[in-house]
Amino acid sequence: MVNYIWITFILIGIIYAFINGTLDNVTEAIFASANEAVTITIGLISVFVFWLGMMKIAEAVGLLRAIGFVMRPLIVRLFPDLPKNHPVIGAIVSNITANLFGLGNAATPFGIKAMQHMKQLTNGNEASRSMITFLALNTSGLTLVPTTIIAIRMQYESAYASEIIITTCIATLASTISAIVFDRIFYKLDKRN
């Protein structure tokens, strides 16, 4: 359905540009935007490579295990139907840790791995309570250091690229608390029905 909506928007834009005689401007904007997208992507590769490397080092020296040990009581409370020593806990911890550092793209493989583990633990094709909670938690994305945004701001020569850290922490903390609260509310409402 979304594909049809985008195709409709694109066609309306092209037809409107053709009628107004600004098709050249649209074509120029398309190529300029494509060029800028490639430039931004290449600039972000170094940031992702650095932080993915740091995550691998953290995993190799046992830092992720230590973070997992510290986070385990919270994770066990958030995901009570998951076995306490199952590999899914490690995938959830890795996902949350990557999100804490603002690495949404690096968090994605860990999130997929966590969902695969949770799928193996469930019977049927419906999402389990843990899957729904994890999705809400992952979508809210508690972030302490918005690495990707800082990198983009640096690329555009922002004078104070890291000034968004405090506001990002506050906003993502609010979204994470809201996600957990609403997850619990809807779970209890669903249980009553």
Query: What is the rounded CA–CA span in Å between residue 98 and residue 81?
Result: 24
Q: Name the residue among 68, 54, 51 with its Cα closest to residue 103.
A: 51
Instruction: Quote the pLDDT of residue 14.
Output: 85
- pTM reported for the whole predicted model: 0.69
Instruction: Quote the pLDDT of residue 8.
Output: 93
pLDDT averaged over the chain? Answer: 85
List the chain pLDDT tens, one digit each, 193 residues.
Answer: 788 998 999 889 888 888 988 888 888 888 888 888 888 888 778 777 877 787 778 778 987 778 777 887 888 888 888 887 788 888 888 888 888 877 777 788 889 999 999 998 887 788 888 899 999 988 888 888 887 788 888 888 888 888 988 998 899 999 999 999 999 898 888 877 7
Measuring CA to CA, how many Å separate 23 from each of 8, 13, 36? 17, 9, 20
Contact 114, 92 (CB under 8 A): yes
Helix axes 63-78, 23-60, angle to 10 degrees: 100
